[in-house]
Structure 1
Amino acid sequence: METQATNAIVATQTALNQASALVVHYGFSTLGAIVLLICGWVLASLVSGWAYKGISKVHGIDETLARFFEKALHYGLLILVFITVLGQFGVQTTSIVATLGAAGLAIGLALQGTLQNIAAGIMLLVLRPFRVGEYIETPTVTGRIVEVGLFATELRTADGLYLLAPNSTLWNTPIVNHTRQPVRRQQLSVPVGDDVDLHSVTRTLLDVVTADQRVKNSPAARVYSDELTPEKTTLTVEYWVKPGDWAETRHALVERLRTALADKGIAIK
């Protein structure tokens, strides 16, 4: 009986010693993992913040793109910290990295269209063929830019409608930017009879156009014959204005030109 009791005591002490060793070992591992997680989180936030500040200072980098790089770097560093923490507990991180790679490939194939929009959004933000507030025209989309995102671009059409265009659609098509250049040409056609004095009509048209302060002196406005038929002569009035004044100037000059020609008794054919 004494021998059995002694063996039981020894076995209990051995189990307690092993349990204590395990507690100490995994306790330090757990404490180290917590410290590593905290330090990794702080370091990831600091590094991503520094990266954001540095990228934001680069000329031509959009705010949305800078934020995207900041978040990508932040979460990438957190993933590395998480894998390192698992290594603290003896987990084979090589298999985890391989699994993450395979999962990333599968997700990439499943979200191929979405990733195309992200890639197109990054290119649009870097090259900036259009900016917020500019009016663009493509074979499928026309409107004023409201916001350029990583997945899609928001526009407002000329009649005030909301339009959301995928970035891949805008990236893979020619874009006409109506407001990027400082000045834009405008042309008006004025058909008159062949019996009028073209020199006098031309002078009248130029006087009306150049009297508008929105019309630029350089390039200078001009009037020339664009079409000649037995019944009429079509004069083209060409002038340059700011993109923002393009529509309003056209509307005003059409009325003024009509009135000026009527005052001189010249009929528009």
Structure 2
Amino acid sequence: MEELTNNFAELSTGMEALIATVGGLVVKYTFSVIGAILLLLVGFFIAGQVRKAVYSGIKRTKNADETLARFISKVARYAILAVVIIMVLSQFGVQTASIIAALGAAGLAIGLALQGTLQNVAAGLVLLFLRPFRVGDYIDCGSFDGIVEEIGLFATEFKTLDGLYRLAPNSEVWGSPITNFSRLPIRRFDLSIGIGYDDDIDLAMKTMRDIIDNNADVLTDPEPFLFVDSLGDSAVGVTCRVWIKTPVWYPTTRQLTKDAKQAFDKAGLSIPFPQRDVHIYNDDAA
């Protein structure tokens, strides 16, 4: 009986010690838990507000890109959340320095593994910042060309002139010389036609002048310029240099070419085929 009483007393003492320890831990970490919860709530709220503010600020910029605005606003939000999480962990005595070092090492390993992908992301950011072309522009990047459909962080989507879909990595787009046919408001066109050596050059130039004067899409500023550009093997090259607004450049140039052929035929001006004079000498000795 006495032994049972002693065991009960020891058990009671152990329970009291456990309760005291748990109570001490609760008291110790109650304020840390409450502070962490409040810090998370405030951090998420601030991160959301910063994301909206950054997005709105970029969108207010002239010719702001939607993809760039979304990307930068999300980066700002995640950066604030990362700082908040580190602050929460520090509330519980966690050594955040070691966590940051581990995350840095992991980030380096991931970066090396995804080197090609990150290169495309970097090229995409450069394209979005420098904006050598926009959605709807027709560009030529050396090995491919087409109308830009979408500029993404990893690749750029094109639609070729024959209606095909093309997806090009941003690193290839940025790493090649880019010719943008749609960016500037006007483009030059040289209407060059070869006439026979027996034809009247002045009549040919007057005919070309009438063609461009009758086309409303040919600009008068810069002024059209007519000149003889070459004396070829079989033809005299006559050129009319004009400027046309970029949106109507292609149909206008096709129409000018058609009008020139019809007008030259009507004026009696020949457009000779390549020809060669062959001289045959009789060898009397043979």
TM-score (normalised: structure 1): 0.93
Looking at structure 2, the residues matched to 231 and 28 of structure 1 have their Cα atoms a distance apart, in angstroms, of 97
Do the aligned residues in 1 keep the contact of 2:212 with 2:256 (CA within 8 Å)? yes
Looking at structure 2, the residues matched to 232 and 211 of structure 1 have their Cα atoms a distance apart, in angstroms, of 26
**Percent identity between the two aligned chains:** 44
Deviation at 1:216, TM superposition (A): 0.5
From the superposition, tell whether residues 179 and 4 of structure 1 become closer, same or farther in structure 2 (CA, over 3 Å).
closer
Looking at structure 2, the residues matched to 231 and 108 of structure 1 have their Cα atoms a distance apart, in angstroms, of 63
Equivalence for 1:213? 216
Do the aligned residues in 2 keep the contact of 1:188 with 1:238 (CA within 8 Å)? yes
Deviation at 1:230, TM superposition (A): 6.1
In the alignment, residue 231 of structure 2 is paired with which amino acid? L
Deviation at 1:158, TM superposition (A): 1.0
Matched ranges for 1:1-269 at <5 A: 1=2, 2-59=5-62, 61-229=64-232, 231-269=234-272
Do the aligned residues in 2 keep the contact of 1:61 with 1:125 (CA within 8 Å)? no
Do the aligned residues in 1 keep the contact of 2:190 with 2:240 (CA within 8 Å)? yes
Structure with max Cα Rg? 2
Deviation at 1:56, TM superposition (A): 3.0
Structure 1 residue runs of 4+, over 6 Å off?
none
Looking at structure 2, the residues matched to 62 and 116 of structure 1 have their Cα atoms a distance apart, in angstroms, of 20
Once the two structures are overlaid, the 10-residue window that deviates more, 228-237 or 137-146, is: 228-237
Once the two structures are overlaid, the 10-residue window that deviates more, 57-66 or 250-259, is: 57-66
In the alignment, residue 64 of structure 1 is paired with which amino acid? T
In the alignment, residue 255 of structure 1 is paired with which amino acid? K
Is there any run of 5+ residues in structure 1 with no aligned partner, and where? none
TM-score (normalised: structure 2): 0.88
Looking at structure 1, the residues matched to 174 and 112 of structure 2 have their Cα atoms a distance apart, in angstroms, of 20
From the superposition, tell whether residues 97 and 54 of structure 1 become closer, same or farther in structure 2 (CA, over 3 Å).
same
Deviation at 1:12, TM superposition (A): 1.8
Deviation at 1:208, TM superposition (A): 0.8
Deviation digits for residues 42-90 of structure 1 (CA, Å, limit 9, x no counterpart): 1111122222222333445422212111111111111111122222222
> SS at 2:94's partner residue?
coil
Do the aligned residues in 2 keep the contact of 1:210 with 1:221 (CA within 8 Å)? no
In the alignment, residue 168 of structure 2 is paired with which amino acid? A
In the alignment, residue 29 of structure 1 is paired with which amino acid? S
Once the two structures are overlaid, the 10-residue window that deviates more, 81-90 or 123-132, is: 81-90
> SS at 1:186's partner residue?
strand
Looking at structure 2, the residues matched to 258 and 8 of structure 1 have their Cα atoms a distance apart, in angstroms, of 112
Report the aligned-residue RMSD. Answer: 1.8
Do the aligned residues in 1 keep the contact of 2:199 with 2:270 (CA within 8 Å)? no
Deviation at 1:130, TM superposition (A): 0.7
Deviation digits for residues 98-129 of structure 1 (CA, Å, limit 9, x no counterpart): 10111111111111111111111111111111
Deviation at 1:259, TM superposition (A): 1.4
Equivalence for 2:277? none
In the alignment, residue 97 of structure 1 is paired with which amino acid? I
Looking at structure 1, the residues matched to 130 and 223 of structure 2 have their Cα atoms a distance apart, in angstroms, of 32
Deviation digits for residues 247-268 of structure 1 (CA, Å, limit 9, x no counterpart): 2112211221111122222222
Do the aligned residues in 2 keep the contact of 1:152 with 1:166 (CA within 8 Å)? yes
Do the aligned residues in 2 keep the contact of 1:60 with 1:126 (CA within 8 Å)? no
Looking at structure 1, the residues matched to 41 and 102 of structure 2 have their Cα atoms a distance apart, in angstroms, of 25
